[in-house]
Structure 1
Amino acid sequence: MQTFGVYDLRCDYKKNPLGTDELRPRLSWKLFAEGRGMMQSAYRIQVSEDAGFHEPVVWDTGRKAGDSSVHVVYDGPALKSRTRYFYRIKAWDQAGGESGWSEPAYWETALLSPDEWKAEWITFKLPEDGEGNEPSQFLRKSFTAKGPVKSARVYATSLGIYRLFLNGKPADDTLFAPGWTSYGKRLQYQTYDVTELLRLGDNVLGVMLGNGWFKGNLAWQNQRNIYGSERAALLQLHLTYEDGGEEIVATDGSWRANGGPVLMSELYHGETYDARKERNGWNEAGFDDGDWKPVAQLEWSKNTLLAQENDPCRIVQELRPVAVIRTPNGETVLDMGQNMVGWIRFTVECEAGTVITLKHAEVLDKEGNFYVGNLRSAKQTISYTCKGGGAETYEPFFSFQGFRYVKVEGLHNEDDAGLLNRFVGCVIHTDMEQTGSFRCSDELVNQLQSNILWGQKGNFLDVPTDCPQRDERLGWTGDAQVFIRTAAYNMNVVPFFEKWLKDLMADQLPNGGVPHVIPHVLRPGDHSSAAWADAAVICPWTLYECYGDTRVLEVQYESMKAWVEHVRVQGDNEFLWNTGFHFGDWLALDAPGDSCLGATPSDLIATAFYAYSSKLLAKAADALGKKDDAQRYAALSEKVAEQFRCEFVTPSGRVAAPTQTAYVLALMFDLLEEKDREPAAAKLAKYIEDNKDHLTTGFVGTPYLCFVLTRYGYTDLAYRLVLQKEYPSWLYSVTKGATTIWEHWDGIKPDGTFWSDSMNSYNHYAYGAVGDWLYRVACGIDTDERKPGYKRIRIAPQLGVQLSFAEASFESMYGTVKVRWEKLPAGRFAVDVVIPPNTDADVALPGADLAAATESGSKLEAAEGVRSAVQEGGDVRLELGSGSYRFEYALLG
């Protein structure tokens, strides 16, 4: 059995990606090793078109010295289209020990040239109903496989969303393809391996089309047909025969089309399905399509096509309802036990013509009745008409709902047990790998972490939406940027955000302005609010910090720079941002009257973020070797900070706006003179304590609040805020039964009434940004900017006297990082740490005495893997190699 080796090979973050058009993919791997202090000293990569790596090998690095094991760029011959490339890796440790070859992995290229698209866009118009709803189109094509097939690939996309079938079987388990992009500029296509679905002889391709984001209802202004008014499909099947011959079956005028049972399907409103109109076998050989009509060809560019970049959406989990509720109004309601996003699958046996209606809601009202007021115009309704004749099972095709409660109509004389057995909740989101976990001794905080994770699941459905239930579900930039660091702990989010950021760049205005939502579907003037548009800079930089990936900076750099330049030239003073509309500290509790903007002046917030984005842009320039830009934007950031002090800080060092958020931003972004920072932090702490340990911050101030308190020595106060149960607080919603994060601190008031109907989401992840603090401060797992992406790990847990333990695990690009601290008997503490191979770590043991602390029973200076140990004030600072460690000590003082 090997004690040192290579595993978990990735190509651009993915395991065995099928269908990429990246010409220089990045390869990453992890090391397993026994013992401590294990580092890679060299590696070797081989790439071959042959799974056995027989000659000729496409690319062989030979033994290459160095400890690089993530984002190693393929540097071999130009890649060919529609080709599977296998790769394997071996490594050498610091003592020269050589591993065996890893298990092979692969990536497969898609269509690398636009000229390879032989398909034509096809469409088919169906009559609309009285409300303007067009049924879903069903498209089919019969073809013959002329001999044994070695491989078969479908490359497909649509205007709208589509489902692909071959011989009656789904091409795969993905949903909502091709995803939501800025369709006029970027349209993804998908690759399907359908070799196993193909038959010798007669075969049938089938495609269903729905509105999706392309032409369905979007936003709250009843907008339709934003990108176009006709759904269409584009598809080509490449057959490679065993004898070496090839054949292409593509969408063209020979395809035939008709309607079917999906009479209406909208993302917001749900789906209407009449099973009596099913056309059994429509996507199989032998079906009589004599009454089907020829398709029409549609003029639409193929120049914007690109292979799928992000992970696809899938059903990732199934939930059973936990209870049947008979409400005071006489409604029959299923409780799923969790606010979730996806749909309900159900099985019924009813007479033909029976209509089953499902309506979806997040909460019940004060009296316990079904409540849909906060959905606004979104109907979230499924209507299914039975065909009769036995058991029939249904789930939607082109719609998703955000809900915990489901009102069931049309099923009569069913007892609770029967109802519970008929329904399954299918949880759907972008299928990202979960990488983080957090747990502590307070079960309410554990529920908070669960709520944060479920909020991410529900709102990371192809784009980072604000909410998944009402007539909105848009990629709000502000929500995304405040939450991205928490998101990157919970899940591997790089492909998800890389794709979204490219859409941000595509929709960015010529003058560098950034729309409020990406993709941009609001009014032309809805753009460039501080803290929202700053996502253009903050999100790429955060990905670089968390994954050590310079490519995201390279791709986004001009967009980042264009945004900062947009701010620089927007007014008379290039160092002050006091023009334009801003959301301010959105939903802050110190807002005057009925305003949502908060009491912190918008120009203070705008100028603070101007300084921050300029600083991050300078860092990005430095990371990319753009020295002139690095110096220029570092100087700009300093000038903006000086102007901030002139405009918003009194000569005595007070921030002119007496709000929690004003002080938080001034301290978080280092905008105050050094001498004024400690007094300002004391002032902030007093504001909170005078408010009986309650926050008043909104979307802008909340993510940074606890970090600022910790930085300036008020960690205990930060813990009191996090553990506060009274309104307003993170745990208040938990005590009210929340299973996701709320949009408003008082979405449900203490008396059971609601904040409002107009804007009251119960699945809105922005305030879940506190998860970053739980990982990064409570458990202390952080990356080092000098070696980003957890190549060098910083571990500095901050002990909370209110907790008896806290633990977090994070699957970095190098492997698992773990931290657990716990209180032991007799006033002692233990800190357990796991550092993955090929990394090292700076560790701070809070409150430890160097002379008395031990590691696995040994003095620190004698412990293997401890490279240095020094006393720094009340902490012991360690430099560690990889491995598992257990430190025990009594607290100083």
Structure 2
Amino acid sequence: MGGLTMIQVTSVQCEYQHNPIGIGERQPLLSWKLEATSGQRKVNQSAYELEVASDASFHDILWQSGIIYTEQSTFVEAAGLISESCKRYYWRVRVWDGDGVVSDWSPAAFWETGKLKGETWSGKWISAPLAQLPADAEQVPLLRKTFTLRGQVKQARIYATALGLYELELNGKRVGDTYFAPGWTSYNNVLQTQTYDVTDHLTAGNNAIGAWLGNGWYKGNLAWSHQKEIYGNRLALLAELHVQYEDGGEEVIATDGSWTSAPGPIRMSEIYHGETYDASLEHPGWSTTAFSKSSDWQSVEEISQTYEVLTPQINVPVRKKETLKPVEWLTTPRGETVIDFGQNMVGWVKFSVRGTAGDEVSLKHAEVLDAEGNFYTDNLRSAKQNIRYTLKGESIETFEPRFTFQGFRFVKLEGAVSAFERDAFEAVVIHSDMEETGKFSCSNPLINQLQSNIRWGLKGNFVDVPTDCPQRDERLGWTGDAQMFIGTAVYLNNVAPFFAKWLGDLAADQRSDGAVPFVVPHVLADDSYGSAAWGDAAVIIPWTLYASYGDKRILERQYDSMKGWVSYVEAQGDQPYLWNTGFHFGDWLGLDAKSGDYIGATDRDIIASAFYAYSVKLVRKSAEVLGREEDAAHYAELERQVADAFRKEFVTPGGRLSSSTQTGHVLALMFELLDEPSERRSALRLKELLEASKHHLTTGFVGTPYISHVLSKHGMLDEAYTLLLQQDYPSWLYPVTKGATTIWEHWDGIKEDGSFWSADMNSFNHYAYGAVGDWLYRTVAGIQPEESAPGYKRFVVAPQPGGGLTFAEGELETMYGRIRSAWKLGENGVIELEVTVPPNTSAEIRLPGAAGSDVVAESGQPLESSAGLTLLKSGDGVIVEAGSGTYKFAYDFNGQPAVAIS
């Protein structure tokens, strides 16, 4: 029946990836998308059939599902199939539509397991001998080994990890395209391993393997108090090369005492401070068989280190994603030579020089210039962000760093500046290689720039962990920043694997009493635990991921951590069901703070108790999803008691909130903690507070992510748009008018006169206030998940035009396919709304401003006769149910017959 199919399977994924190698799941989850081949509407899957085989031709079937009658097409488990380590599995799927027509089989896809957790390693942990490089040495070691392969290679894999960072080479070529492996985890609890396909790197006969090691997060400088060696003081490598020969034989070459090491040309490498590289110390050809070892090379030492924490990589790796060329070469008033790359970004500069052996050149990195146009680095605090390169004196020498990254837009050149090849500079943008899923644009160019700034904030701060900033001596996984931004992040990129790994570290670093550290991985003081809105990341992020992707396993794996956090909070208050003790960051950087204080004016007890109520609600919902009936009942009662206690403590009998701040009212309304009369009064009071501030924000980190949602939900859409469109301080667009290309930490990081808010804490790439991106997608474009059908199996499209915008468009690539919502207003008063609903999903579409179904046209037809639609509500506000397909609505806001969209 293949020639008659009206549906086909596309974009098959295993663990969110296409044909992944090195995964750590014994029972991986499989997903696929559907495509209607003839453009028909309301296409749904009615059944699927899966096959798993050991070969791409499916002659050796390992597992079959049979025909399973269900619409499920995401996160399907091959029930009963248990994957083995270091093995490839091929799989395919076919589906039936609602009419019983079967698709063709999907093309063969595969997954390949890594060295699974608990497996025995033949490799030994090896390190440069201390006599060669003492533990406190800054110089980076090189490790190498030669070996002989007895025949033609059919397949080869390397399984590797390190204490510190590592890069591998085989026969003179770099292995893989990932950076900063093995990533930053709670190293004492979790250390990720990577898998590399190196079949094409090897040849029969003699071969050579080499490795660079760098301090990274494991051994290097972390945080502002100059801590080093938090996890250990020796860099080490663990690796196994598994070779399968064409004749069926196998061989393993592993790290052991037969390897040798030597000091490399990187004299210093630090995440914060940069790299110092002396090209005269290179060992040309050191990772090839032609290399002739000198006396610099000594036998490595095998060291004692656990294997129990090893697990295959969970998250997507860091990769080079794009390059930027200079937009301008500047000579500053001080006479500095500065390159402007036009975009605040994260990565490094690749450059070429020519000159005399021993000449040194330097690249220093900064985000901004000062008011006079000079190079400015005070806001980096102790982070040096300096690349120093000593020439070996060859014709042209090209360099880029290995184990460091910088946050910058501007680069100052020092040293033998005349040696630089002007045309040979490019900025290399790096970040975790997450699939870009969201797009947003509108008729206002300032908002479009804001959206770009939000996206670049994610790029720069999602380098293996969700950091607060990427440039100064901090760059830590602040829990509060992450939970404030998660609602926007899930629109911009597929962040599920990224956060799944980080949440595992959160749970690993969580105290036995349930307290969550301020930063994850935890590297601060022992008492840096348990702040409201920060620790609530343990609950808010897993729930947001579940709602956005529909992967119930995220809740299953984090459920104990979620419960642990709520139990910790429950034990804190000195009054039942309130949290009114301990240290809290409060409404961090709230503009209503007292002079010289970072914490806003909203009572911290209100903030803590409000987030307590919200986390209890989400744990209750999670228990319901997971079928934990007793837990669900317990948390439902706790939710009721906390909300009651909140009202008794913080709401007067007349319905007035005790903390008369924007943030206080926003949280009470957002988390639905008020009864109906108090809710009405609080919404009115919030409007009054906005009028008193001339429609400007006074919120900080806690209130800002929610204020726009609260306003539009409570009938104040105009006020929400007014806030969005403000261009003077404080506002989202003020930094845009000052030339910002990322989100600032402070609303006035650069003041009107060009001076700076401060040198102490003034990042120009700090994504927290970019949380307004969530509102742009949900309200302006109108794309919203529906809680009862997570992962956009069913969703709502409800755009709310306003703010003088004449058009807006949002797209979101979900696990089912692409959702699109695009509206535009014509001069004749007609609104046109185009909505795309992916196959195997449905949407509730709320037509803004439609006076009745009789005045709405869809694709040139009366609404009632439109295929794929069901009218749910007419009259004042038209709502339709839509199956898959693309729909084009047109109608007049005044209730007149609409001009059809062609």
Equivalents in 1 of 2:636, 2:196: separation in Å? 47
Shift, 1:830, TM fit: 0.7
Q: Which residue of 2 aligns with 1:207?
A: 211
Shift, 1:132, TM fit: 5.3
Q: Which residue of 1 aligns with 2:868?
A: 865
Match of 1:27 among 17, 25, 30: 30
Q: CA distance change for structure 1 residues 721 and 83 in 2, over 3 Å: closer, same or farther?
A: same
Q: Is 2:277 the counterpart of 1:273?
A: yes
Q: CA distance change for structure 1 residues 304 and 413 in 2, over 3 Å: closer, same or farther?
A: closer
Q: Which residue of 1 aligns with 2:855?
A: 852
Q: Secondary structure at the match of 1:468?
A: coil
Deviations 1:743-770 (A, max 9, x none): 0000001111000011000000000000
- Kindly indicate whether the alpha-carbon contact (under 8 Å) linking 1:10 and 1:29 is maintained by their aligned counterparts in 2: yes
- Kindly indicate whether the alpha-carbon contact (under 8 Å) linking 1:126 and 1:135 is maintained by their aligned counterparts in 2: no
Q: CA distance change for structure 1 residues 787 and 664 in 2, over 3 Å: closer, same or farther?
A: same
Equivalents in 2 of 1:372, 1:443: separation in Å? 30
Shift, 1:376, TM fit: 0.2
Q: CA distance change for structure 1 residues 282 and 653 in 2, over 3 Å: closer, same or farther?
A: same
Letter in 1 for 2:810: A
Q: Is 2:332 the counterpart of 1:321?
A: no
Shift, 1:286, TM fit: 2.1
Q: CA distance change for structure 1 residues 178 and 697 in 2, over 3 Å: closer, same or farther?
A: same
Letter in 1 for 2:779: V
Q: CA distance change for structure 1 residues 98 and 749 in 2, over 3 Å: closer, same or farther?
A: same
- Kindly indicate whether the alpha-carbon contact (under 8 Å) linking 2:53 and 2:90 is maintained by their aligned counterparts in 1: yes
Shift, 1:133, TM fit: 4.7
Q: Secondary structure at the match of 1:710?
A: helix
Within 5 Å, give how 1:157-236 maps onto structure 2.
157-236=161-240
Which stretch shows the higher mean deviation, 679-688 or 614-623?
679-688
Q: Secondary structure at the match of 2:792?
A: coil
Which stretch shows the higher mean deviation, 511-520 or 384-393?
384-393
Equivalents in 2 of 1:354, 1:470: separation in Å? 28
Q: Is 2:824 the counterpart of 1:819?
A: no
Shift, 1:712, TM fit: 0.4
Shift, 1:77, TM fit: 3.0
Equivalents in 1 of 2:666, 2:875: separation in Å? 27
Q: CA distance change for structure 1 residues 682 and 91 in 2, over 3 Å: closer, same or farther?
A: same
- Kindly indicate whether the alpha-carbon contact (under 8 Å) linking 2:354 and 2:421 is maintained by their aligned counterparts in 1: no
Within 5 Å, give how 1:356-395 maps onto structure 2.
356-395=361-400
- Kindly indicate whether the alpha-carbon contact (under 8 Å) linking 1:58 and 1:76 is maintained by their aligned counterparts in 2: no
Match of 1:150 among 137, 154, 177: 154
Q: Which residue of 1 aligns with 2:95?
A: 91
Deviations 1:739-796 (A, max 9, x none): 0000000000111100001100000000000000000111110111110110001110
Within 5 Å, give how 1:588-607 maps onto structure 2.
588-607=590-609
Q: Secondary structure at the match of 2:423?
A: helix
Equivalents in 2 of 1:131, 1:546: separation in Å? 46
Which stretch shows the higher mean deviation, 798-807 or 186-195?
798-807
Q: Secondary structure at the match of 1:58?
A: strand
Match of 2:440 among 414, 438, 441: 438
Q: Which residue of 2 aligns with 1:139?
A: 143
Match of 2:19 among 10, 16, 20: 16
- Kindly indicate whether the alpha-carbon contact (under 8 Å) linking 1:362 and 1:404 is maintained by their aligned counterparts in 2: yes
Equivalents in 2 of 1:828, 1:458: separation in Å? 41
Ranges of 4+ aligned residues in structure 1 off by more than 2 Å: 112-116, 125-133, 410-414, 571-574
Shift, 1:420, TM fit: 4.3
Equivalents in 1 of 2:119, 2:535: separation in Å? 37
Q: Secondary structure at the match of 1:522?
A: coil
Q: Which residue of 2 aligns with 1:663?
A: 665
Shift, 1:413, TM fit: 4.3
- Kindly indicate whether the alpha-carbon contact (under 8 Å) linking 1:139 and 1:255 is maintained by their aligned counterparts in 2: yes
Q: Secondary structure at the match of 1:868?
A: strand
- Kindly indicate whether the alpha-carbon contact (under 8 Å) linking 1:860 and 1:869 is maintained by their aligned counterparts in 2: no
Q: Is 2:427 the counterpart of 1:422?
A: no
Q: CA distance change for structure 1 residues 59 and 691 in 2, over 3 Å: closer, same or farther?
A: same
Q: CA distance change for structure 1 residues 884 and 681 in 2, over 3 Å: closer, same or farther?
A: same
Within 5 Å, give how 1:100-115 maps onto structure 2.
100-112=104-116, 114-115=118-119
CA RMSD of aligned residues (A): 1.4
Shift, 1:422, TM fit: 1.9
Shift, 1:409, TM fit: 1.1
- Kindly indicate whether the alpha-carbon contact (under 8 Å) linking 2:478 and 2:519 is maintained by their aligned counterparts in 1: yes
Q: Which residue of 1 aligns with 2:810?
A: 808
Match of 1:703 among 698, 702, 705: 705
Letter in 2 for 1:48: A
Shift, 1:100, TM fit: 0.5
Q: Secondary structure at the match of 2:791?
A: coil
Q: Which residue of 2 aligns with 1:341?
A: 346
Shift, 1:680, TM fit: 1.0
Deviations 1:388-426 (A, max 9, x none): 121111000100000000001124447xxx854121000
Equivalents in 2 of 1:520, 1:87: separation in Å? 39
Q: Which residue of 2 aligns with 1:403?
A: 408
Letter in 1 for 2:13: R
Q: Is 2:309 the counterpart of 1:304?
A: yes
Shift, 1:116, TM fit: 2.9
Equivalents in 2 of 1:653, 1:57: separation in Å? 67
Q: Which residue of 2 aligns with 1:584?
A: 586
Shift, 1:127, TM fit: 7.5
Shift, 1:175, TM fit: 0.3
Q: Which residue of 2 aligns with 1:471?
A: 473
Shift, 1:112, TM fit: 2.8
| Amino-acid identity (%) | 55
Deviations 1:407-452 (A, max 9, x none): 01124447xxx85412100000000010000000000000000000
Deviations 1:162-214 (A, max 9, x none): 00111111111100000000001000000001000001111011010000000
Equivalents in 2 of 1:127, 1:335: separation in Å? 44
Q: Which residue of 2 aligns with 1:264?
A: 268
Give the alignment's TM-score, normalised by structure 1: 0.98
Within 5 Å, give how 1:236-255 maps onto structure 2.
236-255=240-259
Runs (5+) with no aligned partner, structure 1: none
Q: Which residue of 1 aligns with 2:521?
A: 519
Within 5 Å, give how 1:832-851 maps onto structure 2.
832-849=834-851, 850-851=853-854
Match of 2:885 among 883, 886, 890: 883
Q: CA distance change for structure 1 residues 133 and 290 in 2, over 3 Å: closer, same or farther?
A: closer
- Kindly indicate whether the alpha-carbon contact (under 8 Å) linking 1:324 and 1:419 is maintained by their aligned counterparts in 2: no
Which stretch shows the higher mean deviation, 18-27 or 104-113?
104-113
Shift, 1:869, TM fit: 3.9
Q: Which residue of 2 aligns with 1:494?
A: 496
Q: Which residue of 1 aligns with 2:509?
A: 507
Deviations 1:203-245 (A, max 9, x none): 0110100000001000000000000000000001111111111
- Kindly indicate whether the alpha-carbon contact (under 8 Å) linking 1:323 and 1:420 is maintained by their aligned counterparts in 2: no
Equivalents in 1 of 2:353, 2:94: separation in Å? 55
Q: Is 2:111 the counterpart of 1:116?
A: no
Q: CA distance change for structure 1 residues 672 and 876 in 2, over 3 Å: closer, same or farther?
A: same
Equivalents in 2 of 1:22, 1:307: separation in Å? 9
Equivalents in 2 of 1:667, 1:79: separation in Å? 48
Q: Secondary structure at the match of 2:525?
A: coil
Within 5 Å, give how 1:689-838 maps onto structure 2.
689-838=691-840
Give the alignment's TM-score, normalised by structure 2: 0.97
Which stretch shows the higher mean deviation, 626-635 or 374-383?
626-635
Shift, 1:129, TM fit: 10
- Kindly indicate whether the alpha-carbon contact (under 8 Å) linking 1:833 and 1:884 is maintained by their aligned counterparts in 2: yes
Shift, 1:64, TM fit: 1.3
Letter in 2 for 1:406: V
Deviations 1:464-487 (A, max 9, x none): 000000000000000000101110
